[in-house]
Amino acid sequence: MAKKKMTKRQKRAKTEKAREKPTIEFCKKCGTILVPAKKGKSLALRCRRCGYEIKKQLRSLKIVEEKKGKKGVVILEKDVTLLPMTERECGKCGNRQAWYWLQQTRSADEPPTQFFRCTKCKGVWREYK
């Protein structure tokens, strides 16, 4: 079978059709993007915010929604504390080991506050120097 040759007009029409890009319509009242909505058997473009509608002949319609994948957080080990440890008695459970850290909670001319966290019950208390 021999292939039929395309005329110059047919080639031009094919290239113009390939170049056509879908256009986005915007609401004339509020400026929001118009989305397709079915009205019986016909399609219309409708504003979600104010309800403005344009009746248009749509040859083809393709809506693509891209969702970005969520990046998960990998937990290697639960409750890893990189604080120094000392011997202090917890007031809640009586455990004798606690993590500690220093934090400047008052003005700079006063000593820092020392916080403690129990290694057993995770209770937190502080001592002023």
* Residue 17 included in any domain: no
Q: Is the pLDDT of residue 119 over 80?
A: yes
Q: Tell me the HSE value of 102 on the side-chain side, using a 13 A CA sphere.
A: 5
Beta strand ranges found along 16-95 (DSSP E): 34-39, 42-47, 53-55, 85-87
The catalytic residue among 25, 89, 110, 127 is 110
Per-residue confidence (pLDDT) for residue 22, from 0 to 100: 60
Per-residue confidence (pLDDT) for residue 42, from 0 to 100: 75
pLDDT single digits (tens) 43-89 = 788 898 998 988 876 666 666 777 777 788 877 766 666 889 999 99
* Residue 115 included in any domain: yes
20 flagged as catalytic: no
* Residue 111 included in any domain: yes
The catalytic residue among 16, 66, 79, 109 is 109
We report the CATH number of the domain holding residue 109 as: 2.20.25.10
Residue-range definition of the domain harbouring residue 40: 22-63
Looking at residue 26, the DSSP 8-state letter turns out to be B
The label of the residue with tokens 């403690």 reads 116
79 flagged as catalytic: no
We report the CATH number of the domain holding residue 51 as: 2.20.25
* Residue 42 included in any domain: yes
